[in-house]
Amino acid sequence: MTPSTYPLISNETRMGTVEFRVHERAHIVVDDTRCRDCSVRGCVTACPANLFVPTSDGGILFNYEQCFECGTCYMVCNAEGAITWSYPEGGHGVVFHTS
Ligand code: SF4
Ligand code: SF4
């Protein structure tokens, strides 16, 4: 049996299929003072929207506005309290398109 294959999709194309209704309150907050001792940095490789960017001073730059709300960053973070996670206010957040 031949395994199914799927075409590679660029991050730009993937993000173009999604709409975000951004609320002024960040639903994810990253305390990057806890990131400075983190050697794993799982959030950087695991976030499907590439929203975690390491900075040259050892911190992490994060922007919640294009978040898929998948919760992966919260699951892979290896520092207690570095990520505070909640859902956005009703009517806000990610909206997936089908076309
Ligand atoms: S919830 Fe998912 S998409 Fe949002 S920041 Fe975390 S890993 Fe990235
Ligand atoms: S995994 Fe957690 S502690 Fe490590 S860099 Fe990411 S948010 Fe910071």
pTM of the model: 0.86
| CATH C-level class of 11-92 | alpha beta
At 34-89, the pLDDT tens digits run 999 999 999 999 999 999 999 999 899 999 999 999 999 999 998 999 999 999 99
Ligand 1 binding pocket mutation candidate from 11, 43, 45, 51 (most atoms within 8 A of CB): 51
Q: Give the DSSP H or E segment for 44.
A: helix 42-46
Identify the burial level of 39 via C-beta atoms within 10 angstroms of its C-beta, where 0-12 means exposed, 13-18 middle and 19 or more buried: exposed
Residue located via tokens 């395994």: 3
Q: Which bound ligand lies closest to the C-alpha atom of 15? A: 1
* Mean pLDDT over the full length of the chain: 91
Phi, psi (rounded to 5 degrees) for 26: -70, 125
Structure tokens at 82: 């570095």
Inform me whether the pLDDT recorded for 98 exceeds 90. Answer: no
Inform me whether the pLDDT recorded for 2 exceeds 70. Answer: no
CA atoms within 13 A on the CB side of 93: 11
